[in-house]
Amino acid sequence: MSMESALEPSTAAGTHGGPEAVIALTGVRRDYGERPVVSDVSIELAAGQTLAVLGPNGAGKTTVLRILATLLRPSAGGVTVLGARLPSEAWKARGRIGYLGHQPLLYRELTVRENLGFNARLHGIERPEARIEELLGRAGLARRGGELVRNLSAGMLQRAAICRALLHEPELLLLDEPRSHLDPAAGVIVDELLGPERGRSRVIVTHAVEAGLVEADQVLLLRADGIVAHAGPVAALSPGDARAVYGGAVR
Amino acid sequence: MNAFRAILAKDLRTELRTLESVPAMALFAATTFVLFRFGLDRTTLEGSLAAGVLLATVLFAAILAINRVFVAEREQGGFDVIRLAPVDGTSLFAAKVCVLAIYLLALELIAVPVFAILFGVGAAGLAPLAAVLVLADLGLATVGALVSSIAVNSRARDLIGPLLLLPLLVPVMIAAAGAAEPLLAAGGPAYGEFGQWMAILALYDLVFVAVGYAVYDFLLED
Amino acid sequence: MSFKAPRILPALTVVTLAAGFILVFYFAPNDADQGFIQKIFYLHVPLAVCALVGFMVAAVQAILHLRSGDPGWDARSYVSIHISVILGVAVLITGSIWARASWGKWFVWDEPTLVSFLIVFLLYCTYYPLRYAIEDRERQARYASVFAITAGAFVPLNFLAVRLAESLVHPRVFATADGGLTPKMTVTFLVCLAGMALLWQTLVRFELAAKSTRARLARLRRALDQDAVAGGSRIAPVPRRASGAG
């Protein structure tokens, strides 16, 4: 081991897996009231990989994503994201995660540009104008940037939200149904924006099971009662697992 | 500091665009004065009655703004936006205190002259009264931001907010009324125990700024 | 979080309180000005002191809860406030009786301690609706602790403001309650205060034990339900015919 790496404040010291694990969950549970929403989730994700979180409605997919985003505390278990133990070290991971949730997380009474500018200031980005214009251009929103968010259609809103999630060039993308509300053409634009570029890691919650599995390296499959049916490499997923979760609806 | 300015600017810009809080507060205050005119059956006010009517009106108008100050944050995901960024809760708290204080000052710029005209209050006492109101506003804004962030994440938030707020604001009312009463006396302004009451108001502001600073991060988590 | 019911404490409380009341009626002299009714002082003031100290204790426990994240401290803080609010009702009732006997009015606005106590009491009453308006356990505990700390900071400020507001207009009426105690009265008062403090602590301990037992019962019930649902019940349901007298 070289001097440099020995002196470096090791991000791996607190992780459960190898030094490259971007995400490490061990035995994670989250309760709502008395009832567990998800229980005993354990999975690891290496840098640059993609994790697909699958499961029927109400299985706790969004809960897992919000825990990873530092937005929700786990009730039990160990969570390490980008080398930060959650919830105690959440501040280390904040600002390095791009989160696209159900809600666009944009203020309705501000324009798209104002919203992005606001986010840029929160993230301490110096001179964000060029970055904002680049993203708006790539998302096909260059001419809609001056509109109030409340006047946007659902598809436009989703694209604006994607710009917001990408603005600070996050190392980890957490995406909840990234293609919802989008027509096929917009879907292509979005896939390009949210692709695995520059080695960033991704977690994708989706109902499009087949498409999700094509993109993913790892998969977390949750049953309707929040219990893990499969957690690990996609290759190890047996057709029986998927059928047990979705019934006959999935091949 | 950057985050503080960003949140403050965002809120003020939204308020200027939608005019949701301050005009409603001003209208509420003017109507309340009319109600007091008949409720008390008085056409002129002075001394303790004048101080009480003015401060009670400001306090109730403040509740309108306090109830609303975090609504966008909750409904449009602003809490998430802030928690996703490398920003500590104190910036949000400080920004919301400033927003509320600015709303209250704007309200008083309208409501105090209206009050003076409606109830024949002399202008001489209004300058020192402004100093009292500034300290009282800071207390209202601090406790308001604290209580509002507790209430906004509960069920029945419109109820919980005022319920927690009113007892907490009793000392502000005591001290502000104590200072304002002699200023609004019939024979022209007197100072009474002015310094003592200003000290109490300042102490109150200081204590709750410190409490808010210490606990605010715990309110921001989910 | 697991709390056990106290064993020795209740006995100690009963003995001290009984001793206190014997002293009140057979040892402490009647007050020169107010006569027999002044003896309510030995109940009213210890109640008020214990309630206020209880609120402060709750604030400290809330700080410990936020620092440690241990839900046990939240439970302690909650129970401290709960018992103090109950004592608070007794404070207002005994204060009212005393006011009625001394001045012929059920409430007097120029007694700053009583007025302050009323305001503090009203504030702490809002603790219950606040708690029950938040569903998530963990958040409920955190917000309740923030409330307990805020309210704890409020109590002394409020006493200061109310006292200043009243002392300008009226001289203190209860001179006897502050400085005019004879040594016999002081001894009696201290015993009563100790008894009341023990009573507060006993009630807190019992309430905590009851809470943790209820929580354990709920957990066991849930575990039982889950086993039954899963079909793999480890605890076999007792067949009625076999267990009955039949």
Residues A4-44 pLDDT 10s: 333 334 343 344 445 568 999 999 999 887 788 898 999 99
Establish if B51 touches chain C: CB-CB under 8 angstroms: no
Please give the residue that has the higher pLDDT: either A186 or B175. B175
Distance from CA of A241 to the nearest CA of B (A): 32
Whole-angstrom Cα distance, residue A174 to residue A108?
Answer: 23
Please give the single-letter amino acid code of residue C167. Answer: S
Using CA coordinates, name the residue in chain B closest to A161: B81
CB contact under 8 A, C164 and B167: no
Instruction: Specify whether the CB–CB gap between A84 and A93 falls below 8 A.
Output: yes
Say which residues have a Cβ less than 8 Å from residue A130's Cβ, sequence separation at least 6: none
Chain A hits for B3, CB-CB cut-off 8 Å, are 121-122
Using CA coordinates, name the residue in chain B closest to C149: B211
pLDDT at position C238 over 90? no
Percent of chain A past pLDDT 90, that is, above it, reads: 41
Q: Residue C167 has what pLDDT?
A: 61
Say which residues have a Cβ less than 8 Å from residue B119's Cβ, sequence separation at least 6: B33, B37, B42, B43, B44, B45, B50, B53
What are the pLDDT digits (tens) for B91-113? 999 999 999 999 999 999 999 99
- Mean of the per-residue pLDDT values of chain A: 84
Give the residue-averaged pLDDT of B49-64.
Answer: 95
- Output the six-digit token pair for C184: 């016999």
Does A20 fall in a domain? no
| Lowest mean pLDDT segment, chosen from A230-239, A241-250, B3-12, B152-161 | A241-250
Chain B hits for A167, CB-CB cut-off 8 Å, are none
Give the residue-averaged pLDDT of A145-171.
Answer: 92
Distance from CA of A51 to the nearest CA of C (A): 29
Q: Residue C179 has what pLDDT?
A: 54
Confidence label for B2 from pLDDT (cuts 50, 70 and 90): confident
How many Å separate Cα C186 from the centre of its chain? 24
Which positions in chain C have a beta carbon within 8 angstroms of at least one beta carbon in chain A? 135-138, 218, 222
Instruction: Specify whether the CB–CB gap between A140 and A186 falls below 8 A.
Output: yes
Does C236 fall in a domain? no
CATH of the domain at C148: 1.20.120
**What sign does the CA torsion over B83, B85, B86, B91 have?**
negative
Establish if B219 touches chain C: CB-CB under 8 angstroms: yes
Task: Please provide residue A42's backbone torsions phi and psi, each rounded to the nearest 5 degrees.
Answer: -130, 120
CB contact under 8 A, A121 and B6: yes
Q: Residue B157 has what pLDDT?
A: 83
Establish if B178 touches chain C: CB-CB under 8 angstroms: yes
Establish if C169 touches chain B: CB-CB under 8 angstroms: no
Output the DSSP codes for C104-154.
S-S--TT-HHHHHHHHHHHHHHTHHHHHHT--SHHHHHHHHHHHHHHHHHH
Whole-angstrom Cα distance, residue B48 to residue B182?
Answer: 8
Q: Residue C2 has what pLDDT?
A: 76
Give the residue-averaged pLDDT of B44-55.
Answer: 92
Q: Residue A3 has what pLDDT?
A: 39
Does A123 fall in a domain? yes
pLDDT at position C183 over 70? yes
pLDDT at position B39 over 90? yes
pLDDT at position C14 over 50? yes
- Output the six-digit token pair for A48: 């640059």
Does C56 fall in a domain? yes
Does A177 fall in a domain? no
Distance from CA of A172 to the nearest CA of B (A): 12
- Output the six-digit token pair for B165: 């707020």
Tokens 């109400």 belong to A58
Confidence label for B58 from pLDDT (cuts 50, 70 and 90): very high
Count structural domains, chain B.
1
Q: Residue B84 has what pLDDT?
A: 92
Instruction: Specify whether the CB–CB gap between B167 and C113 falls below 8 A.
Output: no
CB contact under 8 A, A66 and B81: no
Percent of chain B past pLDDT 90, that is, above it, reads: 76
Indicate the residue of A33, A73, A75 with minimum beta-carbon distance to C135.
Answer: A33
Q: Residue A32 has what pLDDT?
A: 80
Output the DSSP codes for B3-23.
HHHHHHHHHHHHHHHH--SHH
CB contact under 8 A, C138 and A73: yes
Whole-angstrom Cα distance, residue B29 to residue A223?
Answer: 56
Say which residues have a Cβ less than 8 Å from residue C236's Cβ, sequence separation at least 6: none
Q: Residue B122 has what pLDDT?
A: 83
CB contact under 8 A, B17 and A109: yes
> Which subunits count as partners of chain B given 3+ CB pairs below 8 Å?
A, C
How many Å separate Cα C177 from the centre of its chain? 22
Does C233 fall in a domain? no
Instruction: Specify whether the CB–CB gap between A131 and A125 falls below 8 A.
Output: yes
Chain B hits for C81, CB-CB cut-off 8 Å, are none
Using CA coordinates, name the residue in chain A closest to C134: A33
| Lowest mean pLDDT segment, chosen from A5-14, B197-206, C135-144, C226-235 | A5-14
Q: Residue A5 has what pLDDT?
A: 39
Chain A hits for C143, CB-CB cut-off 8 Å, are none
Chain B hits for A103, CB-CB cut-off 8 Å, are 76-77, 80
> Which among A107, A112, A119 is the top mutation candidate for probing chain B, defined by the most B β-carbons within 10 Å of its own β-carbon?
A107
> Domain limits at A163?
107-169
Percent of chain C past pLDDT 90, that is, above it, reads: 52
Q: Number of A:C CB contacts under 8 A? A: 11
Indicate the residue of B160, B193, B203 with minimum beta-carbon distance to C157.
Answer: B203
Whole-angstrom Cα distance, residue A136 to residue A139?
Answer: 5
Instruction: Specify whether the CB–CB gap between A45 and A82 falls below 8 A.
Output: no
Instruction: Specify whether the CB–CB gap between A148 and A109 falls below 8 A.
Output: yes
Q: Residue C112 has what pLDDT?
A: 82
Indicate the residue of B10, B88, B222 with minimum beta-carbon distance to A71.
Answer: B222
Q: Residue B25 has what pLDDT?
A: 96
Establish if B153 touches chain C: CB-CB under 8 angstroms: yes
pLDDT at position C174 over 70? no
Q: Residue A11 has what pLDDT?
A: 40
Tokens 């209202």 belong to B140
Does A148 fall in a domain? yes
- Output the six-digit token pair for B140: 């209202």
Best CA proximity match to A200, nearest among A46, A69, A94, A73: A46
Instruction: Specify whether the CB–CB gap between B168 and B151 falls below 8 A.
Output: no
Whole-angstrom Cα distance, residue B33 to residue B119?
Answer: 9
- Output the six-digit token pair for A136: 């708006």
What are the pLDDT digits (tens) for A43-60? 999 988 999 998 888 888
Distance from CA of C213 to the nearest CA of B (A): 27
What are the pLDDT digits (tens) for C103-126? 888 888 878 888 899 999 999 999
Give the number of other CB atoms < 10 A from CB of residue A33.
Answer: 10
> Which among B84, B90, B91, B155 is the top mutation candidate for probing chain A, defined by the most A β-carbons within 10 Å of its own β-carbon?
B84
Does C30 fall in a domain? yes
| Lowest mean pLDDT segment, chosen from A141-155, A198-212, B27-41, C61-75 | A198-212
How many Å separate Cα C35 from the centre of its chain? 29
Count structural domains, chain A.
1
Tokens 């108008």 belong to B61
| Lowest mean pLDDT segment, chosen from B47-56, B119-128, C206-215 | B119-128
Chain A hits for C135, CB-CB cut-off 8 Å, are 32-33
> Which subunits count as partners of chain A given 3+ CB pairs below 8 Å?
B, C
Say which residues have a Cβ less than 8 Å from residue A99's Cβ, sequence separation at least 6: A65, A69, A71, A105, A165, A174, B80, B84
Task: Please provide residue B137's backbone torsions phi and psi, each rounded to the nearest 5 degrees.
Answer: -60, -40
CB contact under 8 A, C136 and A75: no
Chain B hits for C149, CB-CB cut-off 8 Å, are 211, 214-215
Does A116 fall in a domain? yes
Confidence label for C154 from pLDDT (cuts 50, 70 and 90): very high
> Domain limits at B82?
2-220
Q: Residue A240 has what pLDDT?
A: 73
Q: Residue A249 has what pLDDT?
A: 57
| Lowest mean pLDDT segment, chosen from B41-45, B106-110, C33-37, C182-186 | C33-37
pLDDT at position C75 over 60? yes
Using CA coordinates, name the residue in chain A closest to B13: A110
Give the number of other CB atoms < 10 A from CB of residue B172.
Answer: 27
Establish if C161 touches chain B: CB-CB under 8 angstroms: yes
Give the residue-averaged pLDDT of C33-45.
Answer: 85
CB contact under 8 A, C130 and B200: no
Give the residue-averaged pLDDT of C15-38.
Answer: 85
What are the pLDDT digits (tens) for A73-100? 888 899 999 988 988 888 888 889 999 9
> Which among C55, C109, C130 is the top mutation candidate for probing chain B, defined by the most B β-carbons within 10 Å of its own β-carbon?
C130
Which positions in chain A have a beta carbon within 8 angstroms of at least one beta carbon in chain B? 66, 69-73, 87, 91, 94-95, 97, 99, 101, 103-110, 114, 118-119, 121-124
Give the number of other CB atoms < 10 A from CB of residue C112.
Answer: 21
pLDDT at position C198 over 90? yes
Strands (E), chain B: none
Angle, alpha carbons A187-A193-A197 (nearest 5°): 130
Chain B hits for A166, CB-CB cut-off 8 Å, are none
Chain B hits for A110, CB-CB cut-off 8 Å, are 10, 13-14
Give the number of other CB atoms < 10 A from CB of residue B203.
Answer: 17
Best CA proximity match to B157, nearest among B166, B146, B169, B148: B148
Using CA coordinates, name the residue in chain B closest to A174: B84
Give the residue-averaged pLDDT of A162-186.
Answer: 89
Instruction: Specify whether the CB–CB gap between C29 and C228 falls below 8 A.
Output: no
**pTM here?**
0.87
Indicate the residue of C136, C218, C222 with minimum beta-carbon distance to A32.
Answer: C136
Instruction: Specify whether the CB–CB gap between C64 and C73 falls below 8 A.
Output: yes
Query: With helix as H, strand as E and coil as C, how does B22-34 read?
Result: HHHHHHHHHHHHH
Instruction: Specify whether the CB–CB gap between B183 and B115 falls below 8 A.
Output: no
Distance from CA of C129 to the nearest CA of A (A): 17
Please give the residue that has the higher pLDDT: either A213 or C151. C151
Q: Number of B:C CB contacts under 8 A? A: 91
